[in-house]
Amino acid sequence: MITEQQLSTWANVPVATRYIHTHKQIREALDKYISHVVSKNHNYSIESSDCEIYLQGSYANSTNIKVDSDVDVVIQLEKSFSYDINHLSEIEKEVFKISYDSSEYDFHKFKKDVHEVLEMYFDTSIKFDNKSLKVPANTYRVNADVVPAFKHKKYERFISLNNKSYIPGIKLFNSGTREVIINYPKEHLKNCSSLNDRTNGKFKSVVRIFKNMKKKLLQDMKIEKDSAPSYFVENLVYNSPIEIFNGSYQDMLIKIIRNWSNDIKNENIKNYECANGQDMLFSDKMWDLENTYKFIIAIADFCND
């Protein structure tokens, strides 16, 4: 079994300062150029205050480990938004439709404009990737995956403009395949923080341990690259019962792995949800059970060595 001292080391969140500077620079780029670029290209008005810029992923959630080098930054347009009204009544749908006007400024225009803004600010070539814009690292910033997105609202109620509720998310398109991508990073962050509070900080510490173990398994070629993305590992741990997060790290690892094994046997693992509360962990678009089983077996073997 891995020593408690080693697990404690892996549980710690590493100091990361360059990602803070990266986030700050991307905000400065939007403040300086977005209004000019959008007006020039489309004769449309957007101010930097119409965009919310925030971190997502491991840095935002404080589950990053030393191997994490890229930071994910969302640039979310607030002025135009996408929506899901499928859960509303027919009357609520009609009220919604007469409450908002459609906008001609679409996601593809927004992504191209943000790309131009970043190239102007950083004075370098920014890779236009299918899902993000790649800002390269230098001596004082880390690599950044900048994700332009529209705010997405999954409505639960719409009685009027002043009486409505929705689950906030983001919507973007894969520029290569045109696939629609809807994520809920704020819900993920909120729910992970809540679980971490209820476990006295143990949840995120354990996630960092499993991520470090995954790193070691990759180095030893015990699992295949991309078979267990860190986001999915985090969600796998999230589905552990809250009472498991007590005792030593060794105790918690044993209980979590045992719980996964039991849920595989009784097939309850198929009901695991993502921490955002909106997606199932296992589906055609998320993780597959075969790679999950291989990861859990590799983790169990690693702990028993």
**According to CATH, where is 3.30.460 located in the chain?**
14-183
pLDDT digits (tens, 9 = 90+) for 234-272: 999 999 999 999 999 999 999 999 999 999 999 999 999
User: According to the model, what pLDDT value does residue 303 have?
Assistant: 87
Query: 182 forms bridges with which residues in the sheet?
Result: 171
Residue 287 has pLDDT above 70, yes or no: yes
At the top level of CATH, which class does the domain 14-183 belong to?
A: alpha beta
Give the torsion sign (CA, 153, 158, 165, 100): positive
Mean pLDDT of the chain: 93
For the residues 78-85, what does the mean pLDDT come to?
Answer: 91
What is the DSSP code string of 48-99?
Answer: GGGEEEEEESHHHHT---TT---EEEEEEEEEEEEEE-TTS-HHHHHHHHHH
- Name the pLDDT band for 142 (thresholds 50, 70, 90): confident
Of 10-19, 100-109, 153-162, 209-218, which range is least confident? 10-19
User: According to the model, what pLDDT value does residue 101 have?
Assistant: 81
- The gap from C-alpha 47 to its chain's centroid, in whole angstroms, comes to 25
User: According to the model, what pLDDT value does residue 20 have?
Assistant: 85
Residue 122 has pLDDT above 90, yes or no: yes
Residue 9 has pLDDT above 90, yes or no: yes
* Stated pTM of the model: 0.91
Give the torsion sign (CA, 118, 124, 125, 127): negative
Q: Are 64 and 137 contacting, i.e. CB atoms less than 8 angstroms apart?
A: no
Residue 68 has pLDDT above 70, yes or no: no
Q: How far apart are CA 36 and CA 25, in angstroms?
A: 18
- Give the Cα-Cα-Cα angle 66, 72, 77 (nearest 5 degrees): 165
Q: Two tokens at 194?
A: 């809540």
pLDDT digits (tens, 9 = 90+) for 212-224: 999 999 999 999 9
- Give the Cα-Cα-Cα angle 93, 95, 97 (nearest 5 degrees): 70
